[in-house]
Amino acid sequence: MTLFWLLGAALAAAVLALLLRPLLRGRSEQRVSRRDANVSIYRDQLRELDADLRAGLLARTDYERARLELEARALEDASQEAVPAARGGRRAAFAIGAGIPLLALGLYLAVGNPGAFNPAADPHAITAQQLEGMVERLAAKLRESPDDVEGWRLLGRSYAVLGRFADSAEAYARAAARSPHDAQLLADFADALAMARGQRLDGEPEKLIARALELDPANLKALALAGTAAYARKDYNQAAAFWEKMLPLVPPDSEDARAIRANVQEARSLAGAPPPKGAVKGGVTGVVTLSDKVKKQALPDDTVFILARAVEGPPMPLAVKRVRVRDLPAKFELDDSMAMAPGMSLSAHPRVVVTARVSRSGNATPQPGDLQGASSPVANDAQGVSVTIDSVVR
C-alpha cells in the first residue's frame, strides 16, 4: 500500500508539472505537511469504511454514499486556499496547483476500488486515463442522483482542475440551480464559466459574481473576480475598491496580502488616483533602463518591479512600482503612498537602495533567470537616481 501511495504522489507531481508549465513559470508554493496529514486522515477513514463493509455492518449503498461524502470533504479542504487578485493564467495555475493532489485522492475514494490494495496489486493501477474514468463514473452517479448538490459541486471542481471548463460550468450550473443562495458556489460557477468563455468575466459570469457578493459581501473569491472584471473593462477605481476589501480577509504579512496590495496600487496608478492624504510629496525619483547585454532575455510584456528597501531595516520593500519592459527606460517615483504594510513607510528610513527587476513569471519574489539591477544607497528623498538592469538572478 505504501508503494501505491508513493507512486500516486509521483503521478500527481508529473501531472502538475505538465499542466502548470504553460501557465506559470515561477516557483510553486507547497503546503506539504497539512496535505499529508489530511491524506492520512482520509485514508484511515477509508479503511474503517472498508472494514465495516466486509463485516456486514454497512450496506453497499450506504458504503458508496459515505465514500462520496468523504471524498467531498477531501476536496473541500483543497478549496480553502485564498484566491489572489491575479489575472489570466496565474489564476488558472493556482486553481490547478491547489486542486489536483486532493482531487486524485478524492476521486479515488469516490469511484475507485480501495479493496484492490494487496501485495500483488499492480503498482501502476492509477493512470491519467483512469483518473478521467473516475470523473466520468462520478458524473454517471450524479445522473442517477441529480439532486445531489455536493456531488455536482465536486464534479464541477473535478472538471475545472482537469481543464474541462465547459463541463465544469455545466456541473456548477446544476449545483447552483439546486442551491441558489450559496455564495461560494456562485463564485466557483462564475470562474468556471469565465474560463470556458476564454477567461472573459463580462456578461453572465459578472452577474453571478454580483449575486455572490449580495449573499456574502466578504466572499474572497467573489471579491477577487469582481476586481478582475472591473480591471478588464478599465474601471480601475472599482477594481482597486474590490481588491482592497480582500485585505482584511487574509493574513497581513502573507504573500497573498502583498500581491493584493500590489494589484491595488497598480489599479490606483492606472486610474490616476491621488496619493492618500498625508502621504509624502517627495520620495525617491529616477529612471530605470535595461542594459543592451541582457535586453534579448526580456520580453515586452514581462513585468518590471521597481522597489525601495531600507539600507538598515527589515527586508520587506518600503515602496513598489510596477511597469512593463516595453515601458523602459521608465521614470519612477517611490513614496509613502506605495507602502506595502502599515508602519513600513519610506520616510521612516533615511537611506534606501532602489532595485529594479524583470520578472518573467510576474512573481514579486526573485526567481532564477530574472534580470535585475540596483542603485547604491541613497537618501529617502534622492532625486535623479539611475538604476540599470544588467545582471541575471542565479
Has residue 106 been placed in a domain? yes
| Residue 378: partners with Cβ closer than 8 Å, 6 or more residues away | 284, 351, 352, 353, 354, 385
Q: In this predicted structure, what is the pLDDT of residue 254?
A: 75
pLDDT higher at 392 or 79 = 392
CA–CA gap between residue 268 and residue 285 (Å, rounded): 19
pLDDT higher at 245 or 131 = 245
299 and 387 assigned to the same domain: yes
Express as a percent the part of the chain with pLDDT over 70: 63
Has residue 279 been placed in a domain? no
Has residue 9 been placed in a domain? yes
- What's the predicted TM-score (pTM) here? 0.47
pLDDT band at 125 (very low <50, low <70, confident <90, very high): very low
CA–CA gap between residue 167 and residue 6 (Å, rounded): 30
232 and 350 assigned to the same domain: no
Q: In this predicted structure, what is the pLDDT of residue 219?
A: 92
Q: In this predicted structure, what is the pLDDT of residue 285?
A: 93
pLDDT exceeds cutoff 60 at 75: no
Strand 371-374 and strand 351-359: pairing?
antiparallel
Has residue 383 been placed in a domain? yes
What is the average per-residue pLDDT within 76-97? 44
Contact 113, 79 (CB under 8 A): no
What is the average per-residue pLDDT within 250-261? 79
Domain count, the chain: 2
222 and 331 assigned to the same domain: no
Has residue 352 been placed in a domain? yes
192 and 229 assigned to the same domain: yes
305 and 256 assigned to the same domain: no
Has residue 275 been placed in a domain? no
> With 0-12 CB in 10 A as exposed, 13-18 as middle and 19+ as buried, what is 219?
buried
Has residue 179 been placed in a domain? yes
Tell which of 267, 295, 313 closes a domain. Answer: 267
pLDDT band at 214 (very low <50, low <70, confident <90, very high): very high
Least confident of 1-10, 124-133, 209-218: 1-10
347 and 380 assigned to the same domain: yes
82 and 15 assigned to the same domain: yes
Q: In this predicted structure, what is the pLDDT of residue 264?
A: 85
User: CATH number of the domain that 295 lies in?
Assistant: 2.60.40
Q: pLDDT, tens digit, for every residue of 9-53?
A: 544 554 444 444 444 434 333 434 444 455 555 556 666 666 666
365 and 237 assigned to the same domain: no
What is the average per-residue pLDDT within 42-66? 64
Chain centroid offset of residue 335 CA: 29
Q: In this predicted structure, what is the pLDDT of residue 366?
A: 84
40 and 181 assigned to the same domain: yes
Tell which of 218, 242, 267 closes a domain. Answer: 267
163 and 304 assigned to the same domain: no
pLDDT higher at 381 or 275 = 381
165 and 302 assigned to the same domain: no
Which residue range is the domain that position 140 belongs to?
2-267
Residue 310's DSSP bridge partners are 352
Has residue 272 been placed in a domain? no
Q: pLDDT, tens digit, for every residue of 102-117?
A: 455 455 445 455 444 4
Tell which of 201, 236, 267 closes a domain. Answer: 267
72 and 199 assigned to the same domain: yes
> With 0-12 CB in 10 A as exposed, 13-18 as middle and 19+ as buried, what is 28?
exposed
User: CATH number of the domain that 252 lies in?
Assistant: 1.25.40.10
